[in-house]
Structure 1
Amino acid sequence: MWFRTEFNGNIEYSTRYKFSPSYKFGGFVNESSTSERTANNSLYWGWNQTLRYNKKFGHHDLGLMVGHEAQQSTYESLFGSRVGYISNNITELSAGNKAGSDNGSSRGQWATESYFSRFNYTFNDKYILQATLRADGAAVFGPNKRWGYFPSVSAAWRISKEDFMKDITFIDDLKIRAEYGLTGNQSLPNGGTAIYSALNAWQTAWGTGFLTGRIANPDFQWESTKTYNLGFDLHALKNRLEIIVDAYIKNTDNLILELPLAAYMGTSGTGSISSPYVNIGSMKNTGFGITINTVNIESPFTWKSGISFSLDRNELSKLYLESSNIDRSPWFMNQFISRSVVGQPLWQFYGYKFAGIFQNYTDLKNSAIPETSKIDPAQGTWVGDVKFTDVNGDGVINEKDRTFVGSPWPKFIFGISNNFSYKNFDLSVFMQGTYGNSIFNYTKYANSAPERSGPGRGALQAVANFAQPSSYKAEDNPVLLNPGTTVPRVVAGDPNGNNRPTDQFIEDGSYLRVKNITLGYNVPKSILKKIPVRGLRVTAGVQNAFTITNYSGYDPEIGASSDKYGGNLTVGIDYGRYPAARMYTFSLTADF
């Protein structure tokens, strides 16, 4: 029996000082100096204890473990600033103008506590059983919802140990696995808590008051995921072949998300209160994964390979709302929508379909145009404007013509590794990739039309070929002077809505990337005898060597990222994400 206890903690103090002096430098003038001071401190502690018991008797192997863990963190911040300093040489806050002062403070805390246990049992190294139970409590939930209980159980059968497998000599080890587990999630996109609301200072006609920062939700509770998994592990051909296969179903309930309330309900603008965090619905994931490792050639030249392949399909199962869908837009592009609909994958791209540019007046007269527009060169739709697909065929372009135009989720992902060695040299190459996912190229969208770019922002080269109608009079039967362009004409006010995001900017995000290449050399011991070194290894490598893709942006490896404001998670949107840099490395490792 073993007992272990561990206590750890962290105390942090930080201060930040910033002074922006007044200056005059050519045509650049800053007449008012500014000073800012910020002080932060935080305290964290964690304490856990575990008790273990193991016993072997005969063909039985028994293991028990129980434990407890507690964590807590408190933090606070103080801020102050002033403007209008008489001299740039005196920078203390007290030297600034009181009339231009600002200050603020904040504080908060979080805490969790867990009790956990595990039971292991193995009989004759053939039948394996494991069961666990966790009880987790978190301060982000109310008193009635604070604790969550998460059991799991798994069983394995090592078939290769059975008597009827003795004659199958090419199989070294074969194990079948079955698992079930329930896990919990308490994380909020911006941290904090959902059952309480922060109070923000607010100026009123009667002096300083308080404004609730977010609508509280006292019924907020744990998000939980039930996972069912079946798999097997196979080692064969004297361990030259290894195959690992898993298939799973995950059902997640009480999904944590900000309730999508409309702006007219007071969630946007001056004096607004943010929407509450709620348990909004449930989703289902089904997936499959396989890993194959092989020893292709052995000594003196050795070649080992590894291939991994996995696919995952997600579906929104249910919404605890009157609506059958939820929408999400990045803060920088409110016209773009990622939509989740019950019965379909989450966060698919939802928008208009690009049908080209109006090539002539006849094309314009015979096509659907926005219902808020008319055929007019200055205040409506004209030759050279974007032609949208009339999805529902009602003869006008409106919200009803939006449709799903792409999915950020790949059909499958894969990885390939190869390791070579000969005498003292070794070489490893790792590649990875995805297939079938879409990317909305916001960088291209923002810089490929006259209205969205310009002298102050720059533009892509294609903008120079913007559509140019031959005339702005209907009787001239105008046509495009540069047919085939995909860039709309220049027009004030954008009456046709050319700036609407369409599938024109949705691209195939499939790629194959050589992620790592490493070449190593172990200096022979016969050479090292002459120096006081037991081992010496030299390596050189490159990361992100090259990428094969049809994506026109900087980097197809987009993934998901949090919204700058509000914490909305955006998936598959390239808004200028810094690309993965190619890195060259060289190392020398000595063992004395």
Structure 2
Amino acid sequence: MLFGLSFGTLNLEAARPATNRVPLKTNPNQLADLRVQGTVTDENGLPLPGVSVKIKGTKTVVSTNSAGKFEIDVPSTTTVLVFSFIGYATREVTVADQKNISIQLKPTSNTLQDVEIVSIGYGTISSKEVTSAVAHVDASQFRQGGARNPLDLIVGKVAGLQLSRSGSNPNTGISVQLRGAVTVNGSSSPLFVIDGIPGGNADLLQQDDIESIDILKDGSGAAIYGTSANAGVIIITTKKGKAGPAAFNYSSYFRKDYMQRRPDYLSADEYRAKILSGELKQKDFGSSTDFYDQLINHDNLSQNHNLALSGGTDKTSYRASLNYRDLEGISRENGREEYGLRLNITQKGLNDRLTAQINLATNFNKANLLGGGGWESESAKNPTLSNYNPDGSYRFDLTSTNEFARLAQETSNRKQQTSSADGKVDLNIIEGLQASLFGSVTRNNYNDGQYRLKASEDSMENTDSRGGGYAYKGTFLSQAYAVEPTLQYKKTLFDKHSISAIGGYSYRYYMEEGSGASNRGFINDLLREDNLNTGAPLSPATASVSSFKNDNTLIAFFGRLNYAFDNKYMAQFILRREGSSKFGTNNKWATFPAVSVGWNLTEEDFMKNYKFIDFMKLRVGYGLTGNSGIANNASRVTLGGGGKYLFPDGNYYETYGPNRNPNPNLKWETKRELNIGLDFKLFEKRLTGAIDVFKRTTKDLLDTYTSPQPPYVRDFLYTNVGTISSKGIEIALSYDAIRHTDFTWSMDVTASTLSNQLDSYSNDIYKVKYKTFGSIGGAGALGDAYTTYEGGKIGVFYGKRFAGFTPDGKWLFYNRNGEAVRNDQINNSRDDLNATDLVPLGNAVPKYYASWTNNFRYKNFDLRIFLRGKFDFDILNTTALTYGNKTWSGNLLRDTFTKFSQIDDTYMYTDYYIEKGSYVKIDEITLGYNFNFKTNWLRKLHVYVTGQNLATFTNYTGNDPDYVLDNGLGNEINGQRLGIDARGPYPSTRSFVVGLNVGF
């Protein structure tokens, strides 16, 4: 019945009587003195079917047909007709002497009501009643075109939200941090809630399907999600169908990427000249090869197409969208092709007391994972080498990989399907009391396949199966289930007391499993990874097989109470009791309370004289959240394979043993957060904004510590020790500078400041003076870049302070007495602060973030200019550290012979290579034009051109400072480390987009 009603809406003429008169009079004995007919249209002049046309004060009612037409018999010319339709403002019209009435209904949008509706988890609330720190971004504020991830749409739009990407690789994710680091080893990413699905998969989202994004920043609001919300909550709401005629929307864009900045290495001719001059003692091989350029896909062109159909009646509404996206990276053999489908159906029944909603989404994609790497190794090769031997075959050697050949002789693909289904039923039991049941399932499955030809470098250099092909096949499957019944009550008492309460139960189950198998020795390249047993006979030397499976369960009881008095004083109380299978038997349950209050100052008499203040609200909130983002069996003893070993009988046997020690006392990390905020609208609502000040502390940090043997079997234990804290200020402003009929100018500004520190990392049992993070890697075995002492700030570069060079080019560093000494006279100990010569060298965490958006409209033209920046932070330039030193035997930076020309010594980690990373970026300029159409088949047409990442203003000499990780503690995230500019990152690109949006 549900689908029948929905598709009936599509075939409008078939679903309704052929005549335009809809005889729905509820009183057949009523005498008709006058027959009135007419048409009802929307704000665009399009017909509205299903509009209720009622004689005021009676039960006589008819509905408009598919053409928006109606006929009704009225008793007199003084009759008043009431036109009503969900989502549109009700209108009343006196018949008088009119026999044909044409009426237009206007939507009751949030803009018209001057009320912004904000998602706060398990419900929505007016922005005027919000008492916690919540940021709301709707589709009109999104960045235009080219979003690879939903959060790309709001880069720089939310104060306190830091988003970092390692480059423009279409197959890598985005790292997210809200208000600084909150953990050492637990999950540091906010919880995603997509259409109510906790932990929803962002891969299922397309930018044209998203209605709004809400961010719960502080603990007083996020506590409703308990342990999943330690790092905040990002709530994404997709577009839904609306009552009205069937409407199609098509959007499309094409995107071209260009290299923005590449490392400044010597060309082959320059390298050859340095050899001839004696500045380089290397060999000239006679060729001229730009190895870096050979990795670039100069012909890249990405495209996106989305077609959506929506409509319905006041009983049934629907929205369906189809999406095709082909993303090509700037790197060769690096792309992603996707097909997506999303369907939403909403059905009302039982006299509108029952509402049922179903959301279905699926995404099929094929990713080419082969390319995207090799940038460092190719840049650093001697440019007088060739990719080929004199006979035309690929040149291989045992010191480096021929990336050009690898891209031609290997394949690495992933075929993935991600799906979700969720449904919700709301039943209004009595006035104000609503029972709801929500359920969801998400499934993510992919198959990986790799093959290396017999003639590939890997196959030719393999000692166990030389000259035989290599194949790998892997699978992964994850499934998540959620069931959440809730009961909600809303009531207004004595016109001044407003109460809203919700209570519920949450059950979540997550399972993941995977397997992988490989083999070598394939005598031909025909079957590749599709038939692994056609390779060499399976043996530990040539083949490998692995598999895993784990799961976890989380259950919770939660409640929230909102109270408001006379639109002046507001309060919110949250309590969540939660249990997880991840934690020890003694600590499986925890309680997370929160409270926040709001004071609408503009309702007070003492504010009446301040005419320039239209609205001002003070907020204070305090709440607890937890962190359960750890391994599923972290508290238990688990057994695992120790590897296959050759026994005296000549056979290989697997060994087994415990992987970890048990810890029955393992529990959640707990974050306590205080937030004070001010929301305001000034100068006839021209200036609006919010200011938030926060202080948060996470206790019982989860990490691995050394454990005594005995009684423990293993020498390490996963346990709770330590405290981390952060504090900051966030500002978000919007200003309507000019408001004219033909010209408008508005701007949005965000700014924030952040400070993080590791308060403690020891207790009576486990003693740790400091933690080191951020492996520098590369030549020289230089160790970790960061040392964080108890009570010290996070992200501090710690090492030797540069003092100069000796006449023969050897390093000099300052010791603790301020004397310039050679490296062998430096005390590198970190244990005794009174003896060490190591000092803080800088901080990789930006102290300030800012963005500035300008929106202009002149008649039908619109222009958006978006700038953002990060300030007061440092970056370790490891490219200069390694390839600015003549010790390296391959290619070198041009600065080696100018800026770094004095160096005649080994690689060294020092502040000599630490640079200021502050920058301002012109991140987006979009110029668009809106065509105004008033036809029955074309509603709108908007075309635009966009430039992204157009220019970066900085004194930093390395790669794009925006692509250097600015969050975390220094441990690796998506291949990045805090503040360390990798030697071969995926390139930064400048993009140009051409797109259109059509409604018909």
Give CA deviations for 1:207-232 in whole Å, capped at 9, x if unaligned.
42214444554432111111111121
DSSP 3-state at the match of 1:570: coil
Is 1:54 the equivalent of 2:490? yes
Find the counterpart in structure 1 of residue 864 from structure 2: 428
DSSP 3-state at the match of 1:84: strand
Distance 2:575 2:958 in 1: 47
- Does the aligned pair in 2 maintain the 1:428–1:517 contact within 8 Å? yes
With 132-141 and 505-514 compared, the bigger mean Cα shift is at 132-141
Find the counterpart in structure 2 of residue 350 from structure 1: 798
**Letter of the 1:463 counterpart:** T
CA spacing shift, 1:556–1:24, aligned 2, 3 Å: closer
Distance 2:701 2:971 in 1: 21
Give CA deviations for 1:479-500 in whole Å, capped at 9, x if unaligned.
xxxxx8554216xxxxxxx322
Distance 1:562 1:319 in 2: 14
How does 1:403-422 map onto structure 2 within 5 Å?
403-422=839-858
The alpha carbon displacement at 1:420 in A equals 1.2
How does 1:235-254 map onto structure 2 within 5 Å?
235-254=681-700
**Letter of the 2:634 counterpart:** A
The alpha carbon displacement at 1:273 in A equals 6.9
Find the counterpart in structure 2 of residue 542 from structure 1: 947
Is 1:221 the equivalent of 2:660? no
Give CA deviations for 1:327-368 in whole Å, capped at 9, x if unaligned.
124272652331111222113111111222212xxxxxxxxx
Partner of residue 574 from structure 1, selected from 961, 981, 988: 981
Give CA deviations for 1:445-483 in whole Å, capped at 9, x if unaligned.
1211133x322xx32123346xxxxxxxxxxxxxxxxxx
Partner of residue 720 from structure 2, selected from 273, 276, 279: 279
Find the counterpart in structure 2 of residue 194 from structure 1: 634
Distance 2:969 2:609 in 1: 56
Find the counterpart in structure 1 of residue 481 from structure 2: 45
With 349-358 and 315-324 compared, the bigger mean Cα shift is at 315-324
Report the structure, 1 or 2, having the larger strand content: 1
- Does the aligned pair in 1 maintain the 2:927–2:944 contact within 8 Å? yes
How does 1:273-312 map onto structure 2 within 5 Å?
275-299=716-740, 300-312=742-754
With 318-327 and 547-556 compared, the bigger mean Cα shift is at 318-327
DSSP 3-state at the match of 1:250: strand
Find the counterpart in structure 1 of residue 769 from structure 2: 324
Distance 2:715 2:994 in 1: 51
Give CA deviations for 1:551-581 in whole Å, capped at 9, x if unaligned.
1112112224798979998311111433442
Give CA deviations for 1:282-314 in whole Å, capped at 9, x if unaligned.
122221122222221210321112222211122
Is 1:153 the equivalent of 2:587? no
How does 1:61-72 map onto structure 2 within 5 Å?
61-72=498-509
Whose relative contact order is higher, 1 or 2, with alpha carbons under 8 Å and at least 6 apart? 2
CA spacing shift, 1:215–1:235, aligned 2, 3 Å: same
CA spacing shift, 1:310–1:560, aligned 2, 3 Å: closer
Is 1:97 the equivalent of 2:529? no
Distance 1:73 1:166 in 2: 54
- Does the aligned pair in 2 maintain the 1:449–1:487 contact within 8 Å? no
**Letter of the 1:440 counterpart:** L
Distance 1:566 1:248 in 2: 25
**Letter of the 1:94 counterpart:** N
Partner of residue 917 from structure 2, selected from 509, 512, 519: 509
The alpha carbon displacement at 1:239 in A equals 0.6
- Does the aligned pair in 1 maintain the 2:700–2:721 contact within 8 Å? yes
CA spacing shift, 1:534–1:176, aligned 2, 3 Å: same
Give CA deviations for 1:520-562 in whole Å, capped at 9, x if unaligned.
211134xx55x94121111111111211111111211222479
Partner of residue 489 from structure 1, selected from 901, 904, 911: 904
Find the counterpart in structure 2 of residue 368 from structure 1: none
Is 1:144 the equivalent of 2:563? no
CA spacing shift, 1:205–1:31, aligned 2, 3 Å: closer
The alpha carbon displacement at 1:11 in A equals 4.1
Partner of residue 512 from structure 2, selected from 75, 81, 103: 75
**Letter of the 1:10 counterpart:** T
Distance 1:214 1:517 in 2: 53
CA spacing shift, 1:305–1:48, aligned 2, 3 Å: same
**Letter of the 2:998 counterpart:** A
Distance 2:974 2:866 in 1: 34
Find the counterpart in structure 1 of residue 957 from structure 2: 552
CA spacing shift, 1:392–1:145, aligned 2, 3 Å: farther
- Does the aligned pair in 2 maintain the 1:520–1:538 contact within 8 Å? yes
The alpha carbon displacement at 1:193 in A equals 3.6
With 542-551 and 1-10 compared, the bigger mean Cα shift is at 1-10
Is 1:22 the equivalent of 2:464? no
How well do the aligned residues superpose, as a CA RMSD in angstroms?
3.0
DSSP 3-state at the match of 1:167: coil
CA spacing shift, 1:210–1:182, aligned 2, 3 Å: same
**Letter of the 1:488 counterpart:** I
**Letter of the 1:388 counterpart:** F
How does 1:461-500 map onto structure 2 within 5 Å?
461-464=894-897, 485-489=900-904, 498-500=906-908
Is 1:130 the equivalent of 2:572? yes
Distance 2:865 2:973 in 1: 40
- Does the aligned pair in 2 maintain the 1:336–1:351 contact within 8 Å? no
- Does the aligned pair in 1 maintain the 2:774–2:785 contact within 8 Å? yes
Distance 1:179 1:233 in 2: 14
CA spacing shift, 1:564–1:93, aligned 2, 3 Å: farther
- Does the aligned pair in 2 maintain the 1:137–1:147 contact within 8 Å? yes
**Letter of the 2:837 counterpart:** D
Give CA deviations for 1:393-428 in whole Å, capped at 9, x if unaligned.
586322121111010122211111111112111111
Distance 1:24 1:384 in 2: 43
CA spacing shift, 1:239–1:131, aligned 2, 3 Å: same
Distance 2:515 2:522 in 1: 21
Distance 1:254 1:560 in 2: 21
CA spacing shift, 1:304–1:84, aligned 2, 3 Å: closer
DSSP 3-state at the match of 1:164: helix
Count of aligned pairs = 527
With 6-15 and 65-74 compared, the bigger mean Cα shift is at 6-15
Distance 1:421 1:222 in 2: 51
Find the counterpart in structure 2 of residue 519 from structure 1: 927
CA spacing shift, 1:90–1:132, aligned 2, 3 Å: closer
**Letter of the 2:556 counterpart:** S
The alpha carbon displacement at 1:192 in A equals 4.1
Distance 2:976 2:941 in 1: 47
The alpha carbon displacement at 1:589 in A equals 1.5
DSSP 3-state at the match of 2:616: strand
Give CA deviations for 1:74-131 in whole Å, capped at 9, x if unaligned.
2222333333345545663333313433322221112222221100110100010111
CA spacing shift, 1:86–1:245, aligned 2, 3 Å: closer
TM-score relative to the length of structure 1? 0.82
CA spacing shift, 1:170–1:485, aligned 2, 3 Å: closer
Distance 2:932 2:951 in 1: 33
Distance 1:562 1:106 in 2: 29
Is 1:4 the equivalent of 2:436? yes
- Does the aligned pair in 1 maintain the 2:924–2:950 contact within 8 Å? yes
Distance 1:116 1:353 in 2: 53
DSSP 3-state at the match of 1:444: helix
Distance 2:970 2:570 in 1: 45
Find the counterpart in structure 2 of residue 384 from structure 1: 809
Q: Percent identity?
A: 27
Distance 1:331 1:213 in 2: 28
